[in-house]
Chain A
């Protein structure tokens, strides 16, 4: 326990990286997931299939391999993150951070896409039929009737996707980001007699982030629940 308390700034910075990864990848994955689901439910069959293929492939690949792809294969394509050299206070966001954020985004976006699609499927058929019957065009049906309900219905699965993302940021430890799990391994290595205390401290950090997020999302869910 004292190992963590003595190096509390390192501990906090580690969770700072975890949280930064979560924020960046969380926002970007919502954007990309929305684009993917637009392709998937849209009328163009080529895009439907492309999005479906992407989702199937990436969803079934272990996250570690997605990370490996961005660390080793993407440079062949000329996709590197060496331009990324941002320092904010004690935090430095480097190529490793960029690769981690992009990998997490691409991986999580597939789950976001599935959650949103489940939401659209959950809107009762009659809603769209009624909207069509009162003469709304496609954009009106989607933007005023279907999507508002779909978004609310997909809030619970979206929240659990984002909670999974918080936990998945730990994989960045394997690829050189000094976030919480990497630090935990370092601490355990240096102070092996205190490993239980170290584990409990780091576990608590994750639990705080996860519980805070799920508290917020359940508040949102209750506020925006579709009246049934």
Chain B
């Protein structure tokens, strides 16, 4: 709803009042920000030697290659596998055979209802915690199962959002069940789904940070290494959080762009928020 509908055009009194609110709001925000910066400054968090590491090429490489690249690798692998998982179980959930439909339903519901972290810990122990690569795979597999289940739901919502006439017309010209799905419904569903898949990438990327609990590589591990060596927890945290935010914002813009490009003004599919 455009907000202008909610308000009358403000008169002189209201304009004056809004100015006061604006002033008070600005002052409060400035006060809080200023106080926060002052406290950080007071605690010596802005001293050059705490930030120097982020301008040293060697450590920048550590941060970007060992950190960001590993995180992106985990998220990327998980998303690709999750798309496959989502297609298999999403189609399974729509199957006409009860013996396919029910197990698919159970798997999807199970992995959607339990925390990713619980899954991650279990897989980590199952793969063997002494094995150095198992934490990487624990993160990837846990994220695959969770995000795959969400994508299965997205797929179902996508197929259901294709107008009914499409399916009926396809049957009417004599297509078989598989043909209707593969030639008519799926291409349209995928187009509608694409923004939701990209949004799911944001969730997967954020959840890679949970890998810290199973000692996984990636940004959170590099974060620990750097602050243990340089005693600069706050600057490192700010840098790592900024990297996450930056990548996530890029993904969000991509999702919005895909939404406008492929779907238009129609409402995006929203199955779960997190």
Residues of A within 8 A of B (CB): 41, 43-47, 50, 56-57, 60-65, 68-69, 72-73, 76-78, 111, 114-115, 120-121, 123-125, 128-129, 132, 138, 141-142, 146, 157, 160-161, 163-164, 167-171, 173-174, 180-181, 184-185, 188-189, 192, 195, 199, 202-203, 206-207, 210-211
Instruction: Say whether A77 contacts B36, CB under 8 Å.
Output: yes
Output the residue of A68, A132, A157 with the most chain B CB within 10 A: A68
Q: Give bound CA distance, A61 to B239, whole Å.
A: 12
B244 within 8 A of A: yes
Q: Please tell me which one of the listed residues A60, A111, A141, A169 contacts residue B252 in the complex, with CB atoms under 8 A apart.
A: A60
Q: How far is the CA of A67 from the CA of B115 in the complex (A)?
A: 17
Interface of B is mostly: helix
Partner of A76, one of B18, B25, B39, B114: B39
B168 interface residue per 8 A CB criterion: no
Given known contacts A77-B39, A111-B274, is B237 in contact with A69 (CB within 8 Å)? yes
Q: Is the CB of A181 within 8 A of B117?
A: yes
Which residues of B approach A to under 8 Å, CB–CB?
Answer: 1-3, 5-8, 10, 18, 21-22, 25-26, 29, 35-36, 39-40, 43, 45, 110, 113-118, 121-122, 125-126, 202, 206-210, 212-213, 220, 233-234, 237, 240-241, 244-245, 248-249, 252, 270, 272-274
Please give, as numbers and ranges, the residues of chain B lying within 8 Å of A69 by CB-CB distance: 237
**Contacting pair A125 B118 (CB below 8 A):** no
Q: Give B212 Cβ to nearest chain A Cβ, in Å.
A: 6
Pair A50/B118 contact, Cβ less than 8 Å = no
Give the one of B39, B43, B241 with max A CB within 10 A.
B241
Q: Select from chain B the residue with minimum beta-carbon distance to A47.
A: B25
B206 touches A62 (CB 8 A): yes
On whether the beta carbons of B252 and A206 are closer than 8 Å, the reply is no
Given A46-B29, A65-B241, A170-B117, are A195 and B126 also a contact pair (CB < 8 Å)? yes
Give the CA-CA distance A60 to B117 in the complex, in Å: 18
Residues of B within 8 A of A203 (CB): 110, 113-114, 118
Complexed CA–CA distance, A43 and B35 (Å):
27
A170 touching B237 in the complex, CB below 8 Å, given contacts A60-B249, A76-B39, A138-B6? no
Contacts of A129 in B (CB 8 A): 5
Complex contacts, B22 vs chain A, CB 8 Å:
44-46
* Complex Cα–Cα for A56 and B208 (A): 19
Known interface pairs A43-B7, A47-B25, A60-B252. Does A128 touch B118 (Cβ–Cβ under 8 Å)?
A: no
A63/B5 in contact, CB under 8 A = no
Q: How far is the CB of A128 from chain B (nearest CB, A)?
A: 5
Partner of B116 from the list A157, A161, A167, A169 (CB cut-off 8 Å) is A167
Known: A77-B36, A120-B1. A161 touches B273 (CB 8 A): yes
- Inter-subunit contact B220/A64 (CB<8 Å): yes
